[in-house]
Amino acid sequence: VKKRRVLVLVHPTLIPPASLRGRSAREIEEWRVEFDVVAALRGLRHDVRILGVLDSLIELDATLRDWRPHVVFNLLEEFNGIVSYESHVVAHLELMQQPYTGCNPRGLMLARDKLLCKQLLVAAGIRTPAFHAVAPGSVLRLPAVLKFPLIVKSARDDASLGIAQGSVVRNLAQCHARVRFMHRQFGAVALIEEYIPGRELYVAMLGDMRPRTFPVWELQFGRLPASMSRIATRHIKWDRAYQHRLGIGPRRAMDLPRKALTHVTSTARQAYRALQLSGYARIDFRMREDGELFVLEANPNPNLARIEDFATSAAAAGIHYEKLIGQIVATGLAHRAEWRS
Ligand SMILES: Nc1ncnc2c1ncn2[C@@H]1O[C@H](COP(=O)(O)OP(=O)(O)O)[C@@H](O)[C@H]1O
Ligand SMILES: [Mg+2]
């Protein structure tokens, strides 16, 4: 690999240490992605610098000017604590004619807004659960087409924020209460969706015009008690001890007929295109028992930790971690940004 100057952008509290020695499991969890990516970039012999970005771009601009990185490895997910400003930082890189890894600003903006994302999917003829949105301050009038059970989530947040067993509601009273809770707790538009029982499938993708797809992954709910809804709550997603105890976690999807596998992968491609994604992403699905497939959401710039599903599904395709990080860098360097033409 050609040696490149790579500037890694991270949240200032997530600058990883040089080694894991003496760190608690809890600390490691915080900057696992940052540590893994930096270690891989160094393993690839790149010249790596890490820059924390909180609420100013002054230092970033000075570094772009003075050090002239070949590529920015973008691990930022917010600016000044505001998640919807994530795309603005990437837009800034684009204005500076700076190559970067991951998704372009437009794709980020479209996919991160769950409502806009669903509207675009519907317009492209891609199935997504029927939905209704309620902004804070407005009253809930549930359209009759929506059939219980429903799930209530935030239209803006990700990483399963606000997703708990109580998110699945079985009647109007429960729905009202959960919407009120989401408004009060997160101040976000509440997104009410039809609850789709079935298998939860993920497709990791890498590339721009013709992205490649990795083997279909499935969130296994293991020995989760039958009384509980099989959803990726905050607990299920992040509590490693709990995952371990119940055998919960994403694995390669087994016993899916070949036809179903191709359907999932081709729908993932359609969604990637409809949302104008680039770089790398993970598209999430629910597949009902009758085989009907629904896109739950698209995640541009998904979690890149070595142990998370993006990297593990790439590994199943024979792309080990360092190689994957190298390909993400190469994709960023080759991205046909508008300023190039
Ligand atoms: N319509 C739905 N039907 C069934 N389960 C759902 C639905 N929407 C969300 N879920 C469950 O909730 C989890 C989190 O929802 P998601 O929309 O992916 O939010 P986040 O952005 O926080 O990951 C999903 O992984 C899935 O398990
Ligand atoms: Mg999700």
Q: Residue 298: helix, strand or coil by DSSP?
A: strand
pLDDT at 264: 98
Mutate to test the pocket of ligand 1, among 86, 295, 296 (most ligand atoms within 8 A of CB): 296
Mutate to test the pocket of ligand 1, among 113, 160, 218, 293 (most ligand atoms within 8 A of CB): 160
Ligand 1 within 6 A of CB of 163: yes
CA of 193 to the centre of ligand 2 (A): 14
Q: What is the pLDDT of residues 138-149, one digit of tens each?
A: 999 999 999 999
Question: Out of 93-97, 152-156, 170-174, 250-254, which region has the weakest mean confidence (pLDDT)?
Answer: 152-156
CA of 296 to the centre of ligand 1 (A): 6
Q: Which ligand is located closest to the Cα atom of residue 224? A: 1
Ligand 1 within 6 A of CB of 47: no
Look up residue 224 and give its amino acid: L
> Considering only CA atoms, which residue is closest to atom 7 of ligand 1?
195
Spell out a b/e string for 20-42, using b for 16 or more CB atoms within 10 Å of the CB, else e. eeeeeeeeeeebbbbbbbbbbbe
pLDDT at 25: 85
Share of the chain above pLDDT 90, in %: 91
For residue 230, give the ligand 1 atom closest to its CA.
27
pLDDT at 94: 98
Contact 230, 168 (CB under 8 A): no
pLDDT at 304: 98
Q: Are strands 249-252 and 280-287 parallel, antiparallel or unpaired?
A: unpaired
Residue 169: beta bridge partners? 150
26-54 mean pLDDT: 96
Ligand 1 within 6 A of CB of 8: no
Give the global pTM: 0.96
Q: What is the pLDDT of residues 172-190, one digit of tens each?
A: 999 999 999 999 999 989 9
Q: What is the pLDDT of residues 213-270, one digit of tens each?
A: 999 999 999 999 999 999 999 889 889 899 999 999 999 999 999 999 999 999 999 9
DSSP 322: H
112-133 mean pLDDT: 97
pLDDT at residue 27 greater than cutoff 90: no
For 246-262, give the secondary structure using H, E and C: HCCEEEECCCCCHHHHH
Phi-psi region of 68 (alpha: psi -120 to 50; beta: other; left: phi over 0): left
Question: What integer best gives the mean pLDDT of the chain?
Answer: 96
pLDDT at residue 1 greater than cutoff 80: no
Q: What is the pLDDT of residues 269-307, one digit of tens each?
A: 999 999 999 999 999 999 999 999 999 999 999 999 999
Question: Out of 100-104, 187-191, 312-316, which region has the weakest mean confidence (pLDDT)?
Answer: 187-191
Cα gap 208→238, rounded to integer Å: 30
pLDDT at 86: 96
For residue 194, give the ligand 1 atom closest to its CA.
1
pLDDT at 55: 98
Ligand 1 within 6 A of CB of 218: no
Tokens 């509440």 identify what position? 190
- Helical H runs in the chain? 25-30, 32-43, 58-67, 86-95, 105-112, 114-123, 172-186, 234-238, 240-246, 258-274, 309-316, 321-334
pLDDT at residue 64 greater than cutoff 80: yes
pLDDT category at 26 given cuts 50, 70, 90 is confident
Other C-beta atoms lying within 10 Å of the C-beta of residue 54: 13
Residue 94: both structure tokens together: 């684009």
Cα gap 37→222, rounded to integer Å: 29
pLDDT category at 162 given cuts 50, 70, 90 is confident
pLDDT at 190: 96
Ligand 1 within 6 A of CB of 299: no
Cα gap 191→112, rounded to integer Å: 13
